[in-house]
Structure 1
Amino acid sequence: MSEKIKILMIDDHPSMIEGYKIILSYNDLGYEIETTSAFNCKDAYDIITNPSKKDYFDIVFLDYSLPSYEEKNIVNGEDLALLVKKYSPSTKIVILTSHIETLILYNIIKKVDPNGLLVKSDFTAEELLKAFEAIINNEIYNSATVKASLKELLSKDNYLDDFNRQMLTLLSQGIKTKNLPQHMNLSMSSIEKRKVQIKLYLGIEKGTDEDVIREAKKRGLI
């Protein structure tokens, strides 16, 4: 009898889950795949926090963009991944996303440190199987876009720490520099110093917030 791998699949498109199930059933390792499905953050929350499901799943495959569960402040797959780490620390986490923005991918890796991160436009059935087999063998698997996007950022980690990334995101949302202290636990002088770091990283000697945002978008950061 083949060994069974228990997988929780979380995606708001049932057809995607069915596709993943079919693909994984063809794995070369001979595993039988047992799947449980959830289509939104609330359903996933209920499964993950159920005491009977503690460390029950070998792997969780979850989409980054999902219908939120506002009552518990669970707004996306990243929040669910952190929940899995809390309730089932031995479960491996694979995040699938349509996002290609470098900061989003970078944030996922920094905050969640998943066993796998795959951009949906990257992978074929063959690559999904390759990722599955690597993760089963305790390897980390990132798809091509993730690797390419993170290569430069990870080599300049000091420029894009949590605060600097938050600052870029807030600026892109239209928050003015003078109002940033209201949104961040930083003084105005600290914010100005960090903005200099960001401009250095982006290759901007002088420029406005709009110039920073324009260059960040050009580089696919936001």
Structure 2
Amino acid sequence: MKTLRILAVDDHEMTMIGYKFILEEIQFEDFTIQVDTAKTYELGKQKITDSAKSFAYDIIMLDIQLGPANETQAHTGEDLGILARKIVPKSKIVFLSSFSDNYRINSILKSVNPEGYMVKTEIDENALNDMVHTVMKEPPFYTKKALIAIRTKMANDIPLDDNDKKILYHLSIGTKTKDMIDHISLSLPGIENRKRQLKAIFGVEKQNDQALITEARNRGFI
């Protein structure tokens, strides 16, 4: 019987142990599962690189945040997914994250094009079982909240560039306009001008930033 090799990368050890226990205990018809784990970006990178020399993981499961949120220079699961695409292009990549916002999910779909995305609050034994079967036979696999985010984004036809989307995202998480210059390749006047344009696009010209956030969220942009 074939053995599927899975790598789970998550900075919460108990979460990884849970994935490993569930997946290795499920009785699959055509294969058994062996799960390796890694707690950090560097260890995940090492395991992926080493695997490329002898075998490629069938599935690589990635959390997005692989360190404290205040470590702005730390590598993320998205970075590791982009790297894995280059090193082991045949491996199936699935994100398992607490992030369920439209911006984050659609950003990862664009940068990594994973075979699956699972929101952690929706993960249980059945979901993991379905995920393995789907990504190995007919990917992609999305949990309900991830699918809603994707469909909502697809339903919008407002053309926004990356800077527009970043401004909306940072507004939604409370970043002050003056601090956005640390995250967006625009000057402060440029960002303020984009905000005015965005309010016009979303029909909230004379309202505050919260009105812009609400309207952008309703349309699936954040």
Please tell me the TM-score bracket, short chain as reference: 0.7 to 0.9
Q: TM-score, normalised by structure 2?
A: 0.80
CA distance in 2, matches of 1:198, 1:29: 54
| Unpaired stretches in structure 1, ≥5 consecutive residues | none
1-structure distance, mates of 2:99, 2:127? 18
Specify the alignment match of 1:11 in structure 2.
Answer: 10
What SS is found at the alignment partner of 1:36? strand
The 3 A distance-change label for structure 1 pair 158 and 190 is: farther
Residue identity opposite 1:174 in structure 2? K
- TM-score with structure 1 length normalisation? 0.80
Unaligned stretches of 5+ residues in structure 2: none
Question: What are the residue-to-residue correspondences of 1:1-222 with 2, within 5 Å?
Answer: 2-25=1-24, 26-50=26-50, 52-53=52-53, 56-67=56-67, 75-156=75-156, 158-171=158-171, 172-176=174-178, 183-184=184-185, 192=193, 195-197=196-198, 199-201=200-202, 203-213=203-213, 215-216=215-216, 222=222
SS in 1 for 2:121: coil
Distance 2:67 2:170 in 1: 23
Structure-1 separation of matches of 2:96 and 2:37: 15
Once the 2 structures are TM-superposed, how far is the Cα of residue 147 of structure 1 from its aligned partner?
1.1
Distance 1:156 1:31, change over 3 A: same
8 Å CA contact 1:103–1:165 kept in 2: the answer is yes
Measure the CA separation in 2 of the matches of 1:18 and 1:131: 18
Name the SS for the 2:135 alignment partner: helix
Instruction: Sort the Cα spacing of 1:43 and 1:82 in 2 relative to 1 into closer, same or farther, 3 A.
Output: same
Give the CA deviation at 1:75.
2.0
Which of 42-51 and 114-123 deviates more? 42-51
Letter in 1 for 2:56: Y
AA aligned to 1:127 is: A
Deviation at 1:31, TM superposition (A): 1.2
Percent identical pairs in the alignment equals 27
> Residue 42 of structure 1: CA displacement?
1.7
RMSD: 3.3
